[in-house]
Amino acid sequence: MASGATAGRKVILLQPRGFCAGVVRAIDAVRIALDLYGSPIYVRKEIVHNRHVVDQLKEAGAVFVEELEEVPEGARVIFSAHGIAPAVREQASKRRLRVIDATCPLVTKVHLEAQRFATRGFTIVLIGHRDHDEVIGTLGEAPACTFLVSTPADVDRLNPPDPRRIAYLTQTTLSLDETRDIVARLKERFPEIQGPPAQDICYATENRQLAVKAAAPLCDVLLVVGSQNSSNSKRLVEVSKNFGVPAYLVDDSSQVDPAWIAEAATVAVTAGASAPENLVEDLIAFLKARGFDRMEEMHLKEEDVRFTLPHQLEPVAGRLTSITTQ
């Protein structure tokens, strides 16, 4: 694209963007629990990886902790959308904590796959990023027989006890292209390797990456609304850069460096799966004030995925509000 133009500058707003069904479910779980039981409601780890969401829930009365030792015995605690290891569940039981499990159903799917492969005596290769909450939880399902890889080079260092009984699973928020390369290398080294019945990378991660790929030839810069610890948001930046388009991850419009967009004629905007829409709206207003007075929406596909509340809250499902979509 030609850059340097300052007249008639344009914003391309990508769709789908923002909250996925798992994030909506998790945030609703916290808000409904606060409404039903009052403060404090304890939440282990960030309920979703977004600073603004966490701060809003803190103001509403949620108390975020890193580990269950910080939760008073017998108190009510919510597990985050990223999932937990079985050892955490056992610890909660010993402390008589009243648990509301907000693990995303798509993460639970990966946990169940790990259990099944481990029961059948397979070595499990988990494709993911070390120290991410989701990966820590999945590794905990079968730690003795699960190995983490993040690159094709990691695959070359694997030495499973039986190369004929090996399976792979993936973190749900990875780059499609990066994961494809790792899986290809796994299949080269271990031709009999088995994978999940259906792709582990979640629909929202895939859709947002595909939207960025569609927009890349049409824009000079991509701005991604999301927090620095949001894996799926960081992957959107990587996808754009792989297409040669500069991209920046920002919590909100206050973090945008005007120099990033000074020479841009067209800026594309999207949001990670845990970023609220009001932050996107603020960013659009920020860009409009700087001469981006034309708006174009790019719709890749509609998302109609909905998840039920955690079963601990199912009796009050009728009280579910739309507050998390605001």
- Each residue of 121-147: pLDDT tens digit? 999 999 999 999 999 999 999 999 999
Integer-rounded Cα Rg, in Å, for the chain is: 21
Q: In terms of domains, do 147 and 216 share one? A: no
Q: In terms of domains, do 33 and 72 share one? A: yes
Structural domain that includes position 145: 106-189
Q: In terms of domains, do 27 and 97 share one? A: yes
Q: In terms of domains, do 92 and 181 share one? A: no
Among 133, 168, 189, the domain-final residue is 189
Question: Is the residue at 291 inside a domain?
Answer: yes
The CA–CA distances, whole Å, from 157 to 46, 117, 126, 186, 193 equal 33, 21, 14, 11, 16
Question: Are residues 166 and 146 in contact, defined by beta-carbon separation less than 8 angstroms?
Answer: no
Among 133, 155, 189, the domain-final residue is 189
Question: Is the residue at 4 inside a domain?
Answer: no
**Active site amino acids:** 134
pLDDT in tens, 214-259: 999 999 999 999 999 999 999 999 999 999 999 999 999 999 999 9
Give the SS3 label for residue 139.
Answer: helix
Q: In terms of domains, do 74 and 163 share one? A: no
Q: In terms of domains, do 168 and 144 share one? A: yes
Question: Is the residue at 194 inside a domain?
Answer: no
The domain that holds 184 is classified in CATH as 3.40.1010.20
Task: Give me the torsion for CA of 220, 286, 55, 51, rounded to 10°.
Answer: 10
Question: Is the residue at 77 inside a domain?
Answer: yes
Question: Is the residue at 197 inside a domain?
Answer: no
Q: In terms of domains, do 119 and 82 share one? A: no
The pLDDT, as a whole number, for residue 324 is 40
What is the domain count for the chain?
3
The pLDDT, as a whole number, for residue 315 is 74
Question: Is the residue at 32 inside a domain?
Answer: yes
CA-CA distance, 203 to 240, in Å (whole number)?
19
State pTM to two decimals: 0.93
Question: Is the residue at 29 inside a domain?
Answer: yes
Question: Is the residue at 124 inside a domain?
Answer: yes
- For the chain, residues with pLDDT lower than 70 are 1-7, 317-326
The domain that holds 48 is classified in CATH as 3.40.50.11270
